[in-house]
Amino acid sequence: MTAASSLPLHARLLRRYWHMPDHPMKLRLYDWLRASRPFRHVVARFAFGTFKLDLVDYVQHAMFLHGSYEPKSLALFQSLIGSGETVIDLGANVGQYSIAAARMVGPAGRVIAIEPHPGVCFRLLDNIRLSKVEDRVLPVTSPLADATGFIEFGLPEAGALGTMRPRRPDETRRLLTMAVTIAELADRLDIATAAVMKIDIEGYDLAIIDDMFRNSVLRPRHILFEYLPSRFDYAIAASHLTAYFSDFGYELLTIDGIAYTPEQDVPEENLWARRISA
- pLDDT at residue 158, rounded to an integer: 78
- pLDDT at residue 113, rounded to an integer: 98
Of 274, 176, 259, the residue nearest 222 (C-alpha): 274
Separation of alpha carbons 97 and 238, rounded Å:
26
Separation of alpha carbons 146 and 139, rounded Å:
20
- pLDDT at residue 1, rounded to an integer: 44
123 and 193 within one domain: yes
**End position of a domain, from candidates 68, 98, 120:** 68
Total of domains in the chain? 2
pLDDT (tens digit per residue) in 180-216: 999 999 999 999 999 999 999 999 999 999 999 999 9
Of 31, 83, 80, the residue nearest 198 (C-alpha): 80
217 and 166 within one domain: yes
Averages of pLDDT over each 10 residues, the chain, 278 residues: 65 92 93 93 94 95 95 98 98 98 98 95 97 98 95 84 82 91 97 97 95 97 96 93 98 98 95 92
For residue 79, the domain's CATH number is: 3.40.50.150
What is the extent of the structural domain holding 94? 70-275
- pLDDT at residue 125, rounded to an integer: 98
Of 248, 258, 240, the residue nearest 278 (C-alpha): 248
104 and 239 within one domain: yes
Chain Cα centroid distance, residue 10 = 28
- pLDDT at residue 134, rounded to an integer: 98
87 and 10 within one domain: no
77 and 34 within one domain: no
62 and 109 within one domain: no
pTM for this prediction: 0.93
